Amino acid sequence: QVQLVESGGGLVQPGGSLRLSCAASRSVFTMYNMGWYRQFVENQRELVAQISSGNNTNYADSVKGRFIISRENAKKVYLQMNNLKPEDTAVYYCHVDHGLFRNDWGQGTQVTVSS
């Protein structure tokens, strides 16, 4: 129903920063809640940050104060990641948090934090 493409990941040193981008094929990000998730090896995806159509935001305790989710428009969402830690290493995905798009996941973007 919607195609999602994540980008911006890479290899960074602890304490570094990255900005992840999510591009959608349809104008959905202003209509529904949007979330960033991450998947560790041998684990399910976990919610990292979420932004509502009214711009309310929620963050996982582990990233609060370090990550910022924002929306540029209905097709572009970002995740600013600051003060990265090795435990942030994961594949990051964006997602439209509505049942209609439950199975619509992109390929994700790899974030590796290592010294």
Task: Confirm if 26 and 75 have CB atoms less than 8 A apart.
Answer: yes
Q: Is the pLDDT of residue 1 over 90?
A: no
Mean pLDDT taken over the chain: 95
The pLDDT, as a whole number, for residue 100 is 92
Concatenated DSSP letters of 56-79: -EEE-TTTTTTEEEEEEETTEEEE
The pLDDT, as a whole number, for residue 6 is 98
- Cα dihedral 65, 66, 72, 73, rounded to 10, equals -70
- How do residues 89-102 score in pLDDT, each as one tens digit? 999 999 999 999 99
- How do residues 37-91 score in pLDDT, each as one tens digit? 999 987 899 999 999 989 999 999 999 999 999 999 999 999 999 999 999 999 9
**Whole-number Å distance between alpha carbons of 55 and 27:** 16
